[in-house]
Structure 1
Amino acid sequence: MRAKSPEAKLLNPGPRVQHRRRLPPPSAPPLAQIRRRRAGPCRIWPPRPHPTPPQGSRAPARRISRGSRRPPAASKAPGRRRSLRSRRSPGSRLPPDSVRPPPSCRVHEPEVIRDKAAMHAWSRRRRVEGKVVALVPTMGFLHEGHLSLVSAAVAASAGPVAVVVSIYVNPSQFAPTEDLATYPSDFASDLRKLAATGVVAAVFCPPDLYVRGSADRPSAAGVSGGAVSCLEDAGGHAHETWVQVEQLEKGLCGSSRPVFFRGVATVVAKLFNIVEPDVAVFGKKDYQQWCLICRMVRDLDFAIQIVGSEIVREADGLAMSSRNVNLSEEDREKALSISRSLVDARTAALSGSNHSQHIKDQIVQTLAEAGGQVDYVEIVEQERLVPVERIDRPCVICVAAWFGKVRLIDNIEIQSTSSDKYNSVVCLSAES
């Protein structure tokens, strides 16, 4: 055959070759469907029909070797549970609401803060967010009485509240002969209880709030013959600034515990400076302590609202206290005489027998017959805590007694409108 010249090839190049892209057969699904089916129960081509998965779910991915044949999806072993991933919505990392616990069962884990500077910064951030910072100071080993303080902190403001619970066993309020070493503690249980409330935003549990010094340095209190706390006895002589409410700390518990209220006022002032709360909640278990804190806030111009919360009691009437765990079964039964004697005293006052000495004698007799060792029984004014001869004004009956190795204190408030008509509010309490 005669070959074409170059000019002829340009004029008649011949049949044009068309390069087509190879297309899948008409019955083949798009590539996206093939990829989705790789996670389904069948990867054989052509695919066998299988049940359509529920809307918003994805079948679990399974590896299949080449050439293997899988039985239909309906032949899966009965009773096999799907994984949590198969119940999740596409693109979601949480299970749908149908498998999540109801809101009432969810717990809010509070943030645990141990550093003073971090606690200070946390409170300021909450205040920038427009929240009221409420502080509930405790020494741990929480019970329902402490949790009632948390509820009172939430109710203290109509707006959003950020509740902080401090857990710190304060050594400066214990004398070396008292029960600092045996004070009960269970931090893990405390966190679980606070998380279950769902309202506690932070837990402040510093390792120490005091500056420690050399153990061989004598303290000023020891040199002058004054009282020494466990803080100074353990080498805390570097701390030398104390807060004292001079008049209110005298008498009642201050007579037998000379370092107690000095330590309480100092540690509460330190917590106020660190946390900077708008509201602070204290129980009336220790009535003298509550009055002392109110007076300190007034005199030192702390811009803090102090809320007093009533006592929460056991079913048998015993006031809830962290120290109740140290009572033996026999001593616990005997300790119920405190609440019974105070209720009888209130009844006597309401019936007209309002002479203070007579009522005190009746309480002492009741406690002694039950086997208690009386520390004091006093009837004092509610605000100034000075003794009264007759219950003709707002007053409080305060009792402290030992049962075994545990010291308990109770009190009952009596609000009077006149000398012959009383409106009493019971506030039986025990030392926490």
Structure 2
Amino acid sequence: MGKSYAFIFKILILLVVVVFVMGASSVLAIKNLPGIANGVYSEKISLAGMDEKTAQKTLNDFFAGKTSGDIIDFHYDNKIQKMKKRDIDLDCDSKDTVIQAKKIGASGNFIKDSFEELVCSYYGKSIPLKIKYNKEKLNNIIENLAKKLEQKPVNAYCYLDKGQIKIMAGKDGREVDKKQLLEISQKALADLQYPTQINIPLKITKPAIGEEQLQNIDTLLASYTSYFNTGAVNRSRNIAVAARNLSGTLVKPGEVFSFNDTVGPRLLAAGYKEAPVIINGKLVPGIGGGVCQVSSTLYNAILLAGLTPVSRTAHYFPVGYMPRALDATVAYGIIDFKFRNNLTKPIYVYAQVDGSAVTVEIFGSKQDKSKFDIALQGIVNRDGSASAYRLFKNNGRVIKREFLHTDVVN
């Protein structure tokens, strides 16, 4: 029995030695293969045994074939915009890819490298082909697509037609989700699945004023018109631009309206022209001269509508287009005209220029319409100052006389 166990033990020892020798021989055989390790591939192309130059050429040829046509087809509105390799300077970084491939089994640690190469030879090792492109050009393509597809929302609006308030529904807009489109495009480029079709992601944008916000607006609360010389072309242009920017403003109950915030800065880029403005008591050339006539017209309209002025400043000296003490000057970033909607329902400001007239209308709810007739009065005092009053009348008789302010003589 003892001899039998000894024989079996010797056989087992022999088998272990044989297996070890065969494994070592396999490892040494794999280790001694020239070029890139066995089992290494990129984009399903075997790089095993290749030297660096051959591997780079193989990958470059593969990439050239993949990019001979369209790279990405952007789909929108039943149209297609094609993007080709040259549009973003698309290329592959075969050199870096091959460097990564050569690192397999080349750390300098014999045992670690031998094991890594043995595993690689049996299971394979994928080294993704790196690509490179001009990111700025890709961003520009996306920006241009966004501009092409953008549709700004249209606010619902009110207008007066034969004494009746009419409401026109607004319209949704749309814009490109540029961040998402960039991410999708970058993934498509990295995946090397050319050509890739991308449906451009769009976001719906709602108008700032919807039809439902105007449901309580059913009457004209007040209107005021002032006149200007159309021969002063630039000044006339500025009045028209300011009136356009003002028109369509909705002011909710309790909300304070700011003329400067609503109309915006007076810049050439915004459509304004150079025309005389009053600065430090002198009439000098400036951008946006004439805008004060729009703010002054609005001031009179809101007073007639029974609204509450919050911030109002007189011109340095009287202006010809308004009664004394009933003007309201503005200067962007310096002087603003503000009023509060002290009524129970929203009010809607409508402004228009017709010939030599600029008109501001205040629309609102019938329940907010004053039961009195409102009139304005500007009186020049003995000392040369001027005072403004708001008169509330019933059947032509003044029921209440509200003092507003006094403008001192400069």
Q: Normalized against structure 1, the TM-score is what?
A: 0.30
> Greater strand percent: which structure?
2
